[in-house]
Amino acid sequence: MTSPISTAVQRRRQLLHSVESLRGRVRQVLKCVINLHIEFLVLESDVAALLDEVRALNDDHEEMQRLDRLIETLRDYSGPTICHEWPYPLIFKGTIDEAHVAQILNGGSSELEVPSSYPKEYNIQLESNTDTSKRSRYLRFPRKSSSNRRLQSAD
């Protein structure tokens, strides 16, 4: 028979072993909780970034819808059109793809150089008495405010 002291020592060793085992399990659970918390923080930041992207896409979509409505409105419009954004004289009717022609004409060149890939009907000869560097006052759209113009005219 074992003495009651040795039984108590064995019992204490078993309890210490079970306590150490429980401490190890608690550490594992804490590590899992910390990792889970980090995952939640990462997900939260991802969700915030996605929300920002959705807001930007929503703004772009609203702008696209506004422009679509404007295009539909202007498609059947037959009244006069005033364009304040095109800073070059409107010399001929053409497509937007030929917009560089207006830039060349504004530069004061007397002959338009058209790439050889264009058909021959796009070759435009300007008359020598046409002053392309001076725009008509009806086609000029100054970018200064009216208060700046008043100050300059007062000088």
> How is residue 141 written in tokens?
């759209």
Return left, alpha or beta for 108; rule: phi > 0 is left, psi -120 to 50 is alpha, else beta: left
Return left, alpha or beta for 131; rule: phi > 0 is left, psi -120 to 50 is alpha, else beta: beta
Helical ranges in 76-143 per DSSP H = 100-106
Can you give the pTM of this predicted structure? 0.37
CB 18 within 8 A of CB 11: no
Buried b (16+ CB within 10 A) or exposed e, 49-71: eeeeeeeeeeeeeeeeeeeeeee
Q: Which residue is it, tokens 């929503």?
A: 58
Q: What is the pLDDT along the chain (155 residues), one digit of tens a residue?
A: 567 789 989 999 999 999 999 999 999 999 999 999 999 999 999 999 999 999 999 999 999 999 998 888 888 777 666 656 656 565 555 665 566 666 666 665 444 455 555 555 444 444 444 444 444 444 444 454 555 555 555 55
